[in-house]
Amino acid sequence: MHHLVSPTPPADQELPEFVRELLWDYANQRLTWHSARDLIIRRVLSEGSWPAVSWLRRRLGDTGIRRWIVEHDGRPLDPQQLCFWQVTVGLPPELVQRWLQDEPRRIWWERAR
């Protein structure tokens, strides 16, 4: 069972340190939520610490996270991450199963291990 987290509007454009460290390869750029929203969400969902995940859930809410994952067809998440987000934000199980059984993804996941 997942908890519904309601989104809160951003207080400012400054990203917390625990989010900025996920964007290490963009350290010389001034990234904000509005300028790099997709990149920030992608990194937090796939590589974020618990504080970063909690921050994103407060920012988008579970519905927003679920919508983003569905709109991006479950990419760039690996099988463990997909299962985590399925439980956490209530992704439809049949959709997650379809992503997990997708042959090109499975080949990539096997190669990346």
Give the pLDDT confidence of 10-57 residue by residue, as tens digits: 444 689 999 999 999 988 788 899 999 999 999 999 999 999 999 999
Please give the C-alpha separations between residue 22 and each of 37, 41, 63, 90, in angstroms, as whole numbers: 13, 10, 23, 25
Least confident of 3-12, 44-53, 77-86: 3-12
> Cα–Cα distance between 76 and 78 in angstroms, integer?
7
> What's at 44, amino acid-wise?
V
Q: Which pLDDT value is given to residue 29?
A: 83
Percent of the chain scoring above 70 in pLDDT: 81
Buried b (16+ CB within 10 A) or exposed e, 74-108: beebbeeebeebbebbbbeeeebeebbeeeebeee
Taken in order 81, 49, 47, 33, the sign of the CA dihedral is positive
SS3 content of the chain, % helix, strand, coil (to 5): 70, 0, 30
Q: Which comes out higher in pLDDT, residue 1 or 65? A: 65
Q: Which pLDDT value is given to residue 14?
A: 80
